[in-house]
Amino acid sequence: MSAFPSLKFNFYVLWKKILRRKFFFLFLAGFILFLALFWWQGDFSYARRFFFYLFPYLFLLLAQDIFREEIDSGCLENVLFLQLNFRRYLFEKNLSLLFLGIVFSCLLFLPFLIGSIIRQEFSWSLFISFFMGIMAGFYYLTLASGLGLKLRSGSNVLVVIVVQVFLFLSLLVGLTSLGSGRDLIDLLISASPQNSREKLLLFFFVAFWPNALVARSYSSLTLRLEILFLLLLFLAFQAWRLSRLELKRE
């Protein structure tokens, strides 16, 4: 069967599953309320900045338990019944989720774009930040999807969030300065490393928190290529794991 019917069926199944996720829509409503409160208080620029930094997490939440549930429940037999390749069906979930994430993100981005035009604060860099946010979101999606081949019940999303929480706690509590004498926080804000050690630290930081790419200070082509490389690596790993997947026979 051609790819289009497979994608169409994939999108239909995913949309039905997402509609049952109360937590995702609670997060979405809370996110909108959070941004609206900042905007209402007159801090439009801060609300816009928070949007760029946080909207990639929509992609992460969309990737909650996208593989393991269907693999373990036997739902893939329906895919075989429709004469679809179940491995391709699973891999195409990345495209369906990417599309849904972009749709939700565009709907949230539109008010800020219109607001920026009305307030005469429009800049083409807004689209660059938005695109970088989508790339960070796709990074989360591919990472969580890869984890979802082993983990279920939202554990794939939880692992990513817990790792990031420990990262920021270590920054706030344990790490205050580098061997070079430069303040660590200053390095992460400016994204201007002076030696190889600082460059390595910056690479690790972006790998753990790709949302930083939306900032102008993180416009380095090297950092963007790093995330793109890791994204493609996650997809390749996922494709390799799916190629070895076999359905359990009763």
The pLDDT tens digits of the residues spanning 99-125 come to: 989 999 999 999 999 988 988 888 899
- pLDDT at position 3, please? 54
pLDDT-derived band at 248, boundaries 50, 70, 90: low
- pLDDT at position 20, please? 75
As separate numbers, helices (DSSP H) first and strands (DSSP E) second, the chain gives 13, 0
For residue 183, which phi and psi values (nearest 5 degrees)?
A: -70, 135
Q: How far apart are CA 203 and CA 159, in angstroms?
A: 20
Buried b (16+ CB within 10 A) or exposed e, 183-199: ebeebbeebebeeeebe
pLDDT at 240 over 80: yes
Q: Closest Cα partner for 213 from 185, 188, 236?
A: 188
What integer best gives the mean pLDDT of the chain?
Answer: 81
- pLDDT at position 247, please? 62
pLDDT-derived band at 180, boundaries 50, 70, 90: very low
Of all residues in the chain, the percent with pLDDT exceeding 70 is 82
| Angle at 182 (CA atoms; ends 181, 187), nearest 5 degrees | 155
pLDDT-derived band at 141, boundaries 50, 70, 90: very high
Please report how many Cα atoms fall inside a 13 Å half-sphere around the Cα of residue 236, on the Cβ side. Answer: 6
Buried b (16+ CB within 10 A) or exposed e, 91-125: bbbbebbbebbbebbeebbebbeebbeeeeeeeee
Instruction: Give me the residue spans of the domains in the chain.
Output: 3-243
pLDDT at 4 over 60: no
Decide: residue 68, CB within 10 A, 0-12 exposed, 13-18 middle, 19+ buried.
middle
Q: What is the CA radius of gyration of the chain?
A: 20
- pLDDT at position 36, please? 85
3-state secondary structure 37-55: HHHHCCCHHHHHHHHHHHC
Longest Cα–Cα distance of the chain, Å, equals 64
Of 72-86, 149-163, 200-214, minimum mean pLDDT range: 72-86
pLDDT-derived band at 232, boundaries 50, 70, 90: very high
Contacts of residue 31, defined as CB under 8 A and 6 or more positions apart, other chains included, come to 54, 55, 58, 108
SS3 119: coil
- pLDDT at position 120, please? 87
Amino acid, single-letter form, for residue 173? V
- pLDDT at position 130, please? 95
Q: Closest Cα partner for 207 from 224, 194, 187?
A: 224
Place of tokens 């490393």: 193
Please report how many Cα atoms fall inside a 13 Å half-sphere around the Cα of residue 14, on the Cβ side. Answer: 26
